[in-house]
């Protein structure tokens, strides 16, 4: 029997099938995700239970299909019971992906101070205490967003694309490199700043890095981190199991 976990983001929908031991058996990425995809997944795999988290408006047909096919279905929101304490002042405004990532990280490293960095369309920095409390976090523009804003908010700067393994020297010798280096180095210095601040406040903490743009960061910060590609999906599976 399998759990179907769905993380619907701003640009992509990420899906994973978990076995009874909590291991990912299959994972998929969809640019467009519909109820027909739900029907197909249930026809191909022995899925019994499901959970969906979304930072955008969910298609009611997707919810109906999940509810119809699943023995146990969760539309994850701020009222869903979770295995950590959420101290966020406005839980109804908290992105479920941020909370799911916190649950996943706390399951891997319980009773530990955590910094969770999710580098997606936006970059989120979230904090969990050694008492397994979600304390809150911050949201900043993501790498591609920064590159796009530079193009849109100026008259002459070009749109720039960067590669995951691109070498980032101290300064650029042309405009393209100046933009690429400025954005990537700015993000990595931002990440290092959070790490340095926590080092001043905590005797020990673990750093988790996830999200589609994580490689851009991990290749340039030179700091030991736990890179968990499917941290949000793992957290969703933990929440589903907790409620079952």
Q: Which residues are catalytic?
A: 97
Structure tokens at 152: 């849109």
**What number of H helices and E strands is found in the chain?**
7, 11
The angle subtended at Cα 69 by Cα 63 and Cα 72, nearest 5°, is 80
Closest CA to 119 of 26, 221, 50, 243: 221
Cα–chain-centroid distance for residue 238? 15
Q: How many CB atoms lie within 10 A of CB 139?
A: 13
Structure tokens at 88: 């966020």
Distance (Å, whole) CA 13 – CA 102: 19
Q: For residue 91, give the DSSP letter.
A: G
Distance (Å, whole) CA 217 – CA 209: 9
* Residues β-bridged to residue 50: 4, 73
User: CA separation (Å) from 128 to 82, 95, 125, 146, 163?
Assistant: 14, 15, 10, 27, 31
Distance (Å, whole) CA 110 – CA 118: 19
| Span between the terminal Cα atoms of the chain, in Å | 14
């Amino acid at each position: 029997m399998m759990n179907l976990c769905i993380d619907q983001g701003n640009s992509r929908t990420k899906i994973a099938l978990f076995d009874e031991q909590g291991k990912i058996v299959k994972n998929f990425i969809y640019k467009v995700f519909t109820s027909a995809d739900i029907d197909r997944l249930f026809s191909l795999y022995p899925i019994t239970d499901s959970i969906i988290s979304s930072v955008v408006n969910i298609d009611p047909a997707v919810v109906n299909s999940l509810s119809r096919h699943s023995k146990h279905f969760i539309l994850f929101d701020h009222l869903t019971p979770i295995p950590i304490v959420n101290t966020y002042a406005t839980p109804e405004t908290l992105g479920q992906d941020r909370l799911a990532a916190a649950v996943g990280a706390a399951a891997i490293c319980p009773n530990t101070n955590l910094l969770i960095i999710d580098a997606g369309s936006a970059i989120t920095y979230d904090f969990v205490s050694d008492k397994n409390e979600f304390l809150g976090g911050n949201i900043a523009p993501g790498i591609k967003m920064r590159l796009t804003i530079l193009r849109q908010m100026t008259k002459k700067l070009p749109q720039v694309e960067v590669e995951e393994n691109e070498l980032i020297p101290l300064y650029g010798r042309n405009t393209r490199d100046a933009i690429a280096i400025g954005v990537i180095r700015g993000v990595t210095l931002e990440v290092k700043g959070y790490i340095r601040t926590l080092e001043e406040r905590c005797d020990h903490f673990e750093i988790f890095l996830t999200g589609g743009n994580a490689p851009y960061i991990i290749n340039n910060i030179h700091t030991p981190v736990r890179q968990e590609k499917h941290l949000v999906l793992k957290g969703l599976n933990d929440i589903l199991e907790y409620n079952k």
